[in-house]
């Protein structure tokens, strides 16, 4: 199985980072750590899990500029 890159966005501070997943298991990064059930949490202390996008950072920024910043990108949550 190959890891897939998902874009994680912290709902609290809006930090974006690409995280890799093997199935529903996240490979932890410095700032994003998986707690359970595929939910990743940012280390800023956010109590809400990060939003995950099946899209690359570059695609996200492109789509966002096309949508004029209102972000209508479809969202895919892991494990729910
Ligand atoms: Zn955060």
Higher pLDDT, 62 or 80: 62
Q: Say yes or no to pLDDT of 13 above 90.
A: yes
HSE at residue 11, side-chain half, CA atoms within 13 A, is 10
pLDDT digits (tens, 9 = 90+) for 17-55: 988 888 878 888 889 888 777 788 999 999 999 998 888
**Contact in structure between 9 and 50 (CB atoms under 8 Å):** yes
Q: How far is the CA of 44 from the centre of ligand 1 (A)?
A: 4
Tokens standing for residue 75: 């969202």
- Collapsed DSSP state (helix, strand, coil) of residue 61: helix
Q: Where are the alpha helices (DSSP H) in the chain?
A: 57-66
Eight-state DSSP code of residue 50: P
Q: How far is the CA of 55 from the centre of ligand 1 (A)?
A: 19
Q: How far is the CA of 38 from the centre of ligand 1 (A)?
A: 17
């Amino acid at each position: 199985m190959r890891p897939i890159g998902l874009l994680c966005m912290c709902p609290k501070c809006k930090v974006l980072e690409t995280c890799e997943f093997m199935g529903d298991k996240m490979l932890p990064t410095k700032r994003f750590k998986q707690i359970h059930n595929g939910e990743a949490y940012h280390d800023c202390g956010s109590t809400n899990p990060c939003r995950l996008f099946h899209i690359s950072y570059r695609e996200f920024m492109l789509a966002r500029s096309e949508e004029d910043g209102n972000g209508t990108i479809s969202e895919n949550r892991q494990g729910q």
